[in-house]
C-alpha cells in the first residue's frame, strides 16, 4: 500500500534513525527540537505494549526528551492553524465565487498525485500548508524569535506517521534563506525502533507536557489523523466564520467512518454546502471522476487522504495488525476530541495569541510561511 501512495521516499523507505542519533550525539551547538503528529500518541501505544486505542502524549514527550530532544512541540497545535487558514480560505472562495470545489492539501501523497497526474486540479487545492509545513516554518521564525535562537542553530525534526512527509519537507518551497524549515522526518516505525534501541520502558514513563508555545490544541486538531477529520474540523470553523456562532452539535457524522467515499451536506443558515471525503488514491480518483462527470454534483469542499483510514494508519505507522486495532485507533482520535474542553480550532487560545503576535488575520494575513505561496 505504502509504495503505491506515498511517493518516491516510500519506494525505498529510508531509515534515518542513524542521522538523528548522529545529530544528537554531536549537536554542534544546535538546539534540537521536534514536533509530533496527532496519530503518534495513539499509534506508538499498541506498538509498545499498551492496549490499542491508548492515548499517551505525556509518555511520548518523556520518551522524546530521553532520546535527546531539547524541546517537543505538538503538531495538533498547527493542525488547528491549518484549519483556521483552510476554513477562512473556503469561506473566502464561497463568498467571492472563487475556484470550487476546494480540496484539502495537507496530505503530500495527494498533492503529489495532483501535481503529477491531475494538474488541472492545482487551482482547487487549498493554499494552506500542512500542519507539519506550518509548524516547521513557525519554529524557525516565531519560536526562534521568542527564544532568542538563531534559526540556523535550530535542528528541527518532525515525527510523522507518513513516509511521504520526508518528500514534503524536501520541497523547495520549504527552504528559507538557505536553510531547511524542517531538517528531518522520522516515522512512527523509526521512533518505535529508537525507543526500543534505547531500552526505554515506555509503559512506565511519567507524563511530561509539550513545550510552550505550541502545546495546546482543540479537539478539532486531534481528529486530523482520521479520514474525514480535516473536513469536520474545517466545517466547524467555516460555520463560525460565516455565521459568528458555533456549529451545534459540533460533530459532523456524515464524514466519519471507514467508507471509501463519504458525501454529506452542512446547512450554513440556508446555504447548503455539499462536502465529500475520499480515503485512498483509488477512491480519490473515483470521486474526482464523479465530480467531473456530474454524477456527484455541487461539491463545495473535498478532503483526500491517500492512506485508507487516514494518517492514523499512515504509510509510516506501525501496522495495525487487526481491524480491531484500527478501529481502536480511530475511536481514540474521536475520544480526544469528545473530551477536549475546546473543540474548535479558531477557539484555541494559543492560536489566537499567535495571530496577535504577528498582527495577522486568518485567511488574509501576510504570514507567507503558513501558505504554499
Cβ closest to ligand SF4, residue 127 vs residue 208: 127
Can you tell me which of 57, 221, 229, 314 binds ligand SF4, judged by CB under 6 A? Answer: 314
| Residues whose CB falls within 8 Å of the CB of residue 83, separated by 6 or more in sequence, listed in order | 220, 221, 224, 230, 233, 234, 236, 237, 345, 346
Which region, judged by CB under 6 A, interacts with ligand SF4, from 40-48, 261-269, 299-307, 355-363? 299-307
Cα-Cα end-to-end distance for the chain: 31
* 305 lies in the site for ligand SF4, by CB under 6 A: yes
Q: How many residues does the chain have?
A: 373
- Closest CB 346 distance from ligand SF4, rounded Å: 23
* Residues 183, 175 contacting (CB under 8 angstroms): no
CA–CA separation, 222 and 247 (whole Å): 18
Can you tell me which of 228, 229, 315, 362 binds ligand SF4, judged by CB under 6 A? Answer: 315
CA–CA separation, 339 and 183 (whole Å): 34
**Using CB atoms within 10 A of its CB, is residue 248 exposed (0-12), middle (13-18) or buried (19+)?**
exposed
* 107 lies in the site for ligand SF4, by CB under 6 A: yes
* 311 lies in the site for ligand SF4, by CB under 6 A: yes
The 195-214 site mask, x for binding ligand SF4 (CB under 6 A), equals: --------------------
Cβ closest to ligand SF4, residue 160 vs residue 351: 160
Can you tell me which of 53, 57, 161, 362 binds ligand SF4, judged by CB under 6 A? Answer: 161
Opening angle at CA 74, ends 235 and 229, nearest 5: 25
- Closest CB 124 distance from ligand SF4, rounded Å: 17
Can you tell me which of 102, 164, 205, 325 binds ligand SF4, judged by CB under 6 A? Answer: 164
Where b means 16+ CB within 10 Å and e means fewer, 150-170 reads ebeebbbbbbbbbbbbbbbbe
Q: Which residues bind ligand SF4 (CB under 6 A)?
A: 5-6, 107-109, 161-162, 164, 305-307, 310-311, 314-315
Amino acid at each position: 500500500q505504502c509504495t503505491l501512495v506515498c511517493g518516491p521516499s516510500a519506494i525505498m523507505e529510508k531509515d534515518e534513525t542513524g542521522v538523528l542519533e548522529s545529530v544528537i550525539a554531536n549537536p554542534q551547538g544546535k538546539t534540537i527540537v521536534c514536533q509530533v503528529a496527532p496519530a503518534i500518541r495513539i499509534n506508538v501505544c499498541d506498538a509498545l505494549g499498551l492496549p490499542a486505542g491508548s492515548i499517551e502524549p505525556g509518555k511520548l514527550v518523556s520518551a522524546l526528551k530521553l532520546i535527546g530532544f531539547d524541546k517537543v512541540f505538538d503538531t495538533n497545535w498547527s493542525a488547528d492553524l491549518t484549519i483556521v487558514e483552510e476554513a477562512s480560505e473556503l469561506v473566502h472562495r464561497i463568498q467571492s465565487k472563487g475556484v470550487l470545489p476546494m480540496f484539502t492539501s495537507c496530505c503530500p501523497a495527494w498533492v503529489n498525485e495532483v501535481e503529477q497526474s491531475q494538474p488541472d486540479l492545482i487551482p482547487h487545492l487549498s493554499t494552506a500548508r500542512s500542519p507539519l509545513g506550518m509548524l516547521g516554518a513557525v519554529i524557525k521564525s516565531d519560536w526562534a524569535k521568542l527564544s532568542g535562537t538563531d534559526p540556523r542553530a535550530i535542528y528541527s525534526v518532525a515525527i510523522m506517521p507518513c513516509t511521504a512527509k520526508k518528500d514534503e519537507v524536501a520541497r523547495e518551497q520549504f527552504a528559507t534563506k538557505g536553510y531547511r524549515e524542517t531538517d528531518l522526518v522520522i516515522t512512527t516505525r523509526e521512533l518505535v525502533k529508537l525507543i526500543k534501541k534505547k531500552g526505554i520502558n515506555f509503559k512506565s514513563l511519567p507524563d511530561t507536557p509539550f513545550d510552550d508555545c505550541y502545546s495546546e490544541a482543540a479537539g478539532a486538531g486531534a481528529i486530523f489523523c482520521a479520514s474525514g477529520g480535516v473536513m469536520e474540523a474545517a466545517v466547524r470553523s467555516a460555520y463560525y466564520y460565516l455565521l459568528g456562532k458555533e456549529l451545534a452539535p459540533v460533530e459532523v457524522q456524515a464524514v466519519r467512518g471507514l467508507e471509501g467515499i463519504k458525501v454529506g451536506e452542512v446547512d450554513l443558515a440556508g446555504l447548503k454546502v455539499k462536502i465529500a471525503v475520499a480515503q485512498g488514491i483509488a477512491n480519490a480518483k473515483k470521486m474526482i471522476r464523479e465530480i467531473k462527470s456530474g454524477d456527484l454534483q455541487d461539491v463545495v469542499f473535498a478532503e483526500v487522504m491517500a492512506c485508507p483510514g487516514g494518517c492514523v494508519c499512515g504509510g509510516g505507522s506501525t501496522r495495525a495488525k487487526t481491524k480491531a486495532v484500527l478501529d481502536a485507533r480511530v475511536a481514540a482520535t474521536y475520544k480526544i476530541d469528545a473530551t477536549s474542553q475546546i473543540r474548535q480550532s479558531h477557539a484555541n487560545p494559543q492560536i489566537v495569541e499567535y495571530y496577535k503576535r504577528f498582527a495577522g488575520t486568518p485567511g488574509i494575513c501576510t504570514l507567507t510561511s503558513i501558505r504554499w505561496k
